[in-house]
Every structure is written in C-alpha cells, then in structure tokens.
C-alpha cells in the first residue's frame, strides 16, 4: 500500500486570519488528492526569537486552533530549538509549503535539503486577503489604531 503524500507547513499562527486559511488550503492542494497536511506551529520562544516579541496567543492554543482548520490533518508544536532539518528527517514530507513572507524559512529548508536523500518539492504560498488584514502584525496594528 502506498503512503499518502505528506505536506508540511510551518508558522507562528498568532491571531489566525484569512491568509492563514488560504495558505493552508493551497498547501494541502499542492500534495494532491488524499494528501495529509501536517503543520508545525512555532513555540512561543521561537516566535519571540524570530519576531522580537512574544505571541499574543499561547502556543498550545495556537496549535489547537490550527489543527481545527479544515485543511489541517495534524498540528504539532515545533522543537524548542528551531531545527527544520530534524523535522524533515523525522516526518519525511513530499511537499514543504512556505509562506510568502518566510524567506528565512525558505533558505533554512533549502539548506537542510542539501543533506537529505529524499525528494521534496518546495512551494511558496501567495499573499491573500486585503493588504491591511493579511498578517497578524498588521491586524494587531489595526486594532491599536481603532482603539485610539
């Protein structure tokens, strides 16, 4: 019996928005019919290191919310020390979906794949939704402006 194609996506997913949903739908589609989508949700410590501030929503709640989205088959918390190579070796994905704004992750994935014997397709998702609502940071700014 053939293994179902596995798609891997990653992100912080603080304040889930339309762009997150559309990106995860596209990620799942990239795997083809009957694929599985596993999403690695960044730890609070990873978000703070990468973005300079803690997420608003705690990691366990962000993971649960992502897993509840229709295209997601499973959501798991990432490693404390972000190690995409270890994740790739463990999960053996067929497709890795990278967000339009995750150039640093894209480079880390490309580097990790140099030492990986499996075949992995990388896709980069598009930007979705209205310009002022297409990232958690922009949504936070808009809320602050509205409250002034």
Give the CA angle between residues 54, 95, 76 to the nearest 5°. 35
Q: Which CATH number fits the domain that encloses residue 69?
A: 3.40.50.620
pLDDT given at position 15: 87
pTM value surpassing 0.85: yes
Q: Of the candidates 74, 106, 70, 108, which has an alpha carbon nearest to the alpha carbon of residue 91?
A: 74
Give the CA angle between residues 18, 24, 30 to the nearest 5°. 140
Q: Is residue 1 part of a domain?
A: no
Express each pLDDT in 51-92 by its tens digit: 888 999 999 999 999 999 999 999 999 987 778 888 999 999
Q: Is residue 72 part of a domain?
A: yes
Tokens 């997150």 correspond to 20
Domain count, the chain: 1
Q: Is residue 74 part of a domain?
A: yes
Cα–Cα distance for residue pair 138/144, rounded to 1 Å? 10
Cα–Cα distance for residue pair 144/137, rounded to 1 Å? 11
Q: Is residue 35 part of a domain?
A: yes
Q: How many residues does the chain have?
A: 148
Express each pLDDT in 111-121 by its tens digit: 999 989 989 99
* For range 17-36, the mean pLDDT: 94
Give the CA angle between residues 115, 95, 6 to the nearest 5°. 105
Residue 131 has pLDDT above 70, yes or no: no
Range of the domain at 14: 6-147
Q: Is residue 117 part of a domain?
A: yes
Contacts of 7 (CB under 8 A, 6+ apart): 27, 28, 30, 31, 35, 36, 37, 38, 93, 94, 95, 96, 97
Q: Is residue 46 part of a domain?
A: yes
Q: Is residue 96 part of a domain?
A: yes
């Amino acid at each position: 019996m053939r293994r179902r194609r596995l798609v891997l996506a990653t992100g912080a997913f603080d304040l889930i928005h339309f762009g997150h949903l559309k990106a995860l739908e596209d990620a799942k589609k990239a795997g083809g019919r009957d694929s599985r989508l596993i999403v690695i949700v960044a730890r609070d410590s990873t978000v703070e290191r990468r973005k300079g501030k803690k997420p608003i929503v705690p990691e366990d709640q962000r993971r649960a919310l992502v897993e509840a989205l229709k295209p997601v088959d499973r959501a798991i918390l990432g490693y404390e020390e972000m190690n995409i190579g270890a994740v790739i070796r463990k999960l053996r994905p067929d497709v890795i979906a990278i967000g339009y704004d995750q150039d640093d992750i894209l480079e880390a994935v490309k580097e990790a794949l140099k030492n990986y014997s499996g075949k992995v397709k990388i896709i980069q998702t598009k930007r979705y939704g209205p310009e002022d609502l297409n990232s958690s940071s922009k949504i936070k700014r808009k809320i602050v402006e509205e409250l002034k």
